[in-house]
Amino acid sequence: MILANKVAVVTGGTKGIGYAIAEKLLDAGASVFICGRTVPAVEEALKKLAARGKAVGRVCDVREDEQVRSMLSDCERVLGGVDILVNNAGIGIMGKTVEQITPDEFRQTVETNLFGVYYACHYAVPLMKNRGGGYIINISSLAGQNAHPKMAAYNASKFGLNGFSEALMQEVRQDNIKVSYICPGSVNTYFGNDTPSAEKAWQIQPEDIAEVVIDLLKMDARTLPSKVEIRPSKPPVR
């Protein structure tokens, strides 16, 4: 298995994209540590993931510095370290203008989608250096390069995430740590007010993004696809 003896952390790993990524990582031989926002969600996901391999996890609000530090410390204690970090946890508050969105909603979005990634990377990079290298994959969005009305908070958080990812990539590449960010378009998943449905089968599926993650991890050490864009191949004609 290509990821045998590797330890992967997936934030927001209880459903949707994060859960699909956890499944694929387990199938590839990695031990996986997931986190989510509630105890029932984490327990239910771990129960299902157990059939595929070694999966552990805990509750963690990625907006909280100390919770992220503690979560990664738990991963090191239980699984021995961190080789792979997939920053997937994110929220999207859509449909509100800058005038309408509340300061708390704007703050929640940026703290989850950007500060949460910073906290995880801040604490994971030293752990990866201890292991001789690693791979950080940040799940961003095409909304991180294309702005839309009534999405200002989400746009701001993902534009910031893209810049953060590119800066981090240049900082740690000589430490044998790769950094990539994936920018999906429309995904048929739980996000904002959306839930998966058969009517949206034309959209990217969570398992498609999980396949991209595995493809990145299989890439030769000399090569770094630092940014990946993925979009529906045939969206409906409007």
* 154 catalytically annotated: yes
Question: In sequence order, what are the residues at sequence separation of 6 or more whose Cβ sits closer than 8 angstroms to the Cβ of residue 7?
Answer: 30, 31, 32, 33, 75, 79, 80, 81, 82, 83, 84
Q: Identify the CA nearest to 144 among candidates 154, 132, 135.
A: 154
Q: Are 210 and 23 in contact (CB under 8 A)?
A: yes
The one catalytic residue in 118, 154, 181, 190 is: 154
Alpha helices in the chain (DSSP H): 16-27, 39-49, 65-79, 103-110, 116-130, 152-172, 206-218
173 C-beta neighbours (distance < 10 Å), count: 14
Half-sphere exposure at residue 189, Cβ-oriented, CA atoms within 13 angstroms = 26
The three-class DSSP label of residue 237 is coil
Residues tagged active-site: 154
